[in-house]
Structure 1
Amino acid sequence: MSSATAASTPPSKFKVSIAVAIGNFMEWFDFAVYGFFAVIIGQLFFPADTTPFVAILSSLAVFAVGFFMRPLGGFILGPIGDKYGRRTALAISVLAMGIATTIIGLLPTYATVGILAPILLVLCRCVQGLSAGGEWTGSAAYLVESTPSAHRGKFGSIISATAALATIVGSLFALFLNAVMSEEDLISWGWRVPFLLAAPLALIGLYIRMRLGETPVYKNVEESQAVQKSPILSSFKNNLKPILLTLAIAAVQGTGFYYLATFIVNYLTTTIGVERGPALAMAATGLGVYMFLCPLAGALSDRFGRRRLNIIGTIGYIVLPIPMFFFMSSGQFAPVVIGMIVLAITQSLVSVTTVVMLVELFPASNRSSASAIGFNIALAFIAGPAAYIGTWLAGATGDPVSPAWYLVVLALIALPFIWKWLPETAGRDITLDTQAEHGESTVQSDATTTARV
């Protein structure tokens, strides 16, 4: 039996799904932990004479630094995935993330080494950002390329769902630490524990990913001698429109996810005044619902197409954030969770469709590079600063509903571009490299479906 045939059997798909899910979980657990301990990190790594508001903004600014490094990570890991294989890029990303996160758990604080503490923290965040720059798009390429055409949405939803699961586990672990440790111990050393867990998690993730074979699609690229020497240059030359479309859909998807995944906890604690334990419990409940919505959204996208669901989700982010933030501003458990669930419905639609379109919009020979460009630029300069901007809006205006405006305005800007130019990609043959040969012909060939919602 050939490797391509073996890779197409159900057991192989199950193994691929589990391997990518576990690796993706570990990657995003490491990355999300920082967001949950941003308040404590702000206190420990910046001067003691700063106000709590300035400290949390400083910590979130360092959080955003990791996002600014994502495009560089995409420029590095994307071509590696196109030239040396999807598996190689995924192995590098999980190892780099594990090392950087472990070092954060060992860093001295400002009280010990002064200004060197935030400098070292920034450097570690840069490495995390480089790693994350190849993780999401790399996982999408690997998983979707190993999946039957009719089920790409359901399989692709694994990436969105495991990112949420990692965030939930991170929040519950932080909740556990809050429950069993005194505030003094938590600030003294307890916050370091989840960061130090990155070392064994990274080794497990590396082991799992190195045991994966290459995708049938990438093997086909190799066998047809279509591996490109300069996939980045080819991406800009032949796939500029899909890259710009990816930037639009990823901006909405990334901002919505980080609002739900990391911003909401700090919003509840610093803006609304909820104690950290209940805030973490509320966030975990809302994210749990989102996690289970992702496979449903994936199945719907297989049935009704990516374009229609993505547009519905984008419209949802125009209409829903303001009333939902009004509910959540009460700080009560039920309104907060209801608000998160409503936003989670919208987020599941944009997130799962974005994952699959990161693969379906681009040709096989430069897929890792091209998808990483638009996706990471969006997350670096739009989604990455979202937590900082949301916190700043709430503090500057004194209005707890004001962070919603960032989501609303962003969706308003993205919607016309998505509506006019986003093609329907469901069912597209992703094993071929027709886009590389004919430029944007595949995007243009979907003109008949673009007019449909």
Structure 2
Amino acid sequence: MSMTTGDVRTSARDQRRIGVAAACGSFMEWFDFAAYGFFAITIGELFFPNDDPATELLLSLSVFGVALVMRPVGGVIFGIVGDRIGRRASLTGSVILMAVSTTLIALLPTFASVGLLAPIALVLLRMLQGISVGGEWAGAAAFLVEQAPRNKRALLGSVVPATAAAGGVGGVAVALALTNLLSQEQMLNWGWRVPFLLAAPLGLAALYIRLKLEDTPIFTEMKEEGDIAQAPTREALRRNKRAIALCFFATASAAVGYYYLVTSTANALMSEEVGMSRTTALCATGIILAIYTAMCPLAGVFADRIGRRPTILVGAAGLAASAIPAFHLLGSGSIIVAVLAMSLFALFEAMVNVTMVVLLIELFPARTRLTGCSLGFNLAGALVGAPAALVVAASVAEFGFLGAGGFYMTAVGAMTLIGLYFLLPETNGRDLHSHEEALKKDSLASVTD
């Protein structure tokens, strides 16, 4: 390709516009996705009525997992769109799908009205949400990182996890407002629908901003030169097997840690197991997420300065070591202790998640970048991240103490640490314009013609 320096000459104004476009969509997608987690108890009562409240919650959380299982499908669909039609097309498609599916959840009848049709419809719409999320993360990462200067890729890439967590903070704020303003009867009748109804205006705003942007210079140049992969999935599986595996390892810890923070895992444990009031548990969750949001750009600066490899290895080791004590301290009943314990966990999660975002882009050649990274990213989310909430609940019930909730994270963190220690090359500064540099410099990539 004609651009070989790897430096992107994007004005500060354009970088801000690009960041806002990625941030708005990411916030909306994860606000909608997290809303389900924060209202899982209420949704369980309405769609999975059972004499045992724990069974209702488990069934509700299993539907949360259904969305995660569908992420690889979304990764393939939107990865192909991003590599063949454009990065912007992938971003706009994912945000439209999330807005429509989430708004429809707000309009669903409950089990009391239509019986089994209610949970079936809920599952189908959650599947569409999962497909949307499968395309959003990698698409936003490519849009940001491909247009960032070499020395600021991780910093700008940190916008994705930071605004995703901010979406979780927004979900907490809405949940707190509804919990305190509405009675239990009002919440069951209509209050739970409010956060899902917000999808429509948020989605329209994100779509408007994204449609006003041009595609990335890298994709524009490939299109002008006729260098578009005709079968990106087949090409990625043939040429990028090891890079896909590396994305899987990197994403595994990031996904589990992220769902512990952003979804109902910590929040549900504090309210259901520790006995905190729902308001106190939500406040603690919101504070933790806000701290995590602030940590993401700091992790980006760290990864840009010392490199991707040491940053993600330290983060994975920290997640593995801190998970059990952090969950054990949730049982103290003190909001201050809970926030401090989970904030340390959040620091390591930020290091892993931010570095993972930039690795998704730097590990792959431009022709198959979205397809390849989406495969590794979403397979890890589905196979490792999806069971997290259920495994945590089952572990705590089986072993009888909250620290058991960290067992799964410790195991996944150790897997990530070992896999990346032996396999991950340093990608900081890699030329994103060259198709071949990702293949030649990464001795782990399987290159066959």
- The residue number in structure 1 matching 2:335 is 333
CA distance in 2, matches of 1:352, 1:97: 23
Q: Among all aligned residue pairs of Structure 1 and Structure 2, give the percentage whose two residues are the same amino acid.
A: 41
- The residue number in structure 2 matching 1:299 is 301
CA distance in 2, matches of 1:413, 1:46: 35
CA distance in 2, matches of 1:292, 1:171: 16
CA distance in 2, matches of 1:76, 1:120: 22
- The residue number in structure 1 matching 2:250 is 249
User: Which range moved further: 202-211 or 351-360?
Assistant: 202-211
Letter of the 1:226 partner, please give it: D
Letter of the 1:338 partner, please give it: L
Gapped regions of structure 2 (runs ≥ 5): 1-5
Instruction: For residue 274 of structure 1, report the CA deviation from its aligned partner.
Output: 1.5
Query: Kindly tell me: are residues 109 and 309 of structure 1, through their superposed partners in 2, closer, same or farther at Cα, counting changes over 3 Å?
Result: same
CA distance in 2, matches of 1:167, 1:102: 18
- The residue number in structure 2 matching 1:373 is 375
Letter of the 1:318 partner, please give it: A
- The residue number in structure 1 matching 2:284 is 282
Query: Kindly tell me: are residues 219 and 288 of structure 1, through their superposed partners in 2, closer, same or farther at Cα, counting changes over 3 Å?
Result: same
CA distance in 2, matches of 1:434, 1:310: 25
Instruction: For residue 270 of structure 1, report the CA deviation from its aligned partner.
Output: 1.7
1:92-171 pair list within 5 angstroms: 92-171=93-172
Contact between 1:238 and 1:435, CA under 8 Å: does it hold in 2?
no
Instruction: For residue 288 of structure 1, report the CA deviation from its aligned partner.
Output: 0.8
Instruction: For residue 6 of structure 1, report the CA deviation from its aligned partner.
Output: 10
CA distance in 2, matches of 1:69, 1:445: 28
CA distance in 1, matches of 2:101, 2:24: 19
- The residue number in structure 2 matching 1:450 is none
CA distance in 1, matches of 2:305, 2:381: 28
Query: Kindly tell me: are residues 123 and 338 of structure 1, through their superposed partners in 2, closer, same or farther at Cα, counting changes over 3 Å?
Result: same
Instruction: For residue 201 of structure 1, report the CA deviation from its aligned partner.
Output: 1.1
Gapped regions of structure 1 (runs ≥ 5): 447-453
CA distance in 1, matches of 2:193, 2:63: 17
Contact between 1:70 and 1:130, CA under 8 Å: does it hold in 2?
yes
Contact between 2:256 and 2:385, CA under 8 Å: does it hold in 1?
yes
Contact between 1:57 and 1:392, CA under 8 Å: does it hold in 2?
no
- Give the match's secondary structure for 2:158: helix
For this pair of structures, how many residues does the alignment match?
A: 439
Q: Which of 13, 26, 29 is equivalent to 2:28?
A: 26
Instruction: For residue 95 of structure 1, report the CA deviation from its aligned partner.
Output: 0.5
CA distance in 2, matches of 1:294, 1:41: 31
CA distance in 2, matches of 1:50, 1:369: 45
Q: TM-score, normalised by structure 1?
A: 0.95
- The residue number in structure 2 matching 1:213 is 214
- Quote the RMSD (CA, aligned, Å): 1.5
CA distance in 2, matches of 1:125, 1:342: 31
Q: Deviations over 1:132-157 (max 9, x none)?
A: 01000010001101111110011011
User: Do residues 411 (structure 1) and 413 (structure 2) align?
Assistant: yes
Letter of the 1:22 partner, please give it: C
CA distance in 1, matches of 2:55, 2:80: 39
- Give the match's secondary structure for 1:402: helix
Query: Kindly tell me: are residues 6 and 349 of structure 1, through their superposed partners in 2, closer, same or farther at Cα, counting changes over 3 Å?
Result: closer
User: Do residues 443 (structure 1) and 442 (structure 2) align?
Assistant: yes
Instruction: For residue 435 of structure 1, report the CA deviation from its aligned partner.
Output: 5.2
CA distance in 2, matches of 1:425, 1:94: 30
Letter of the 2:422 partner, please give it: K
- The residue number in structure 1 matching 2:205 is 204
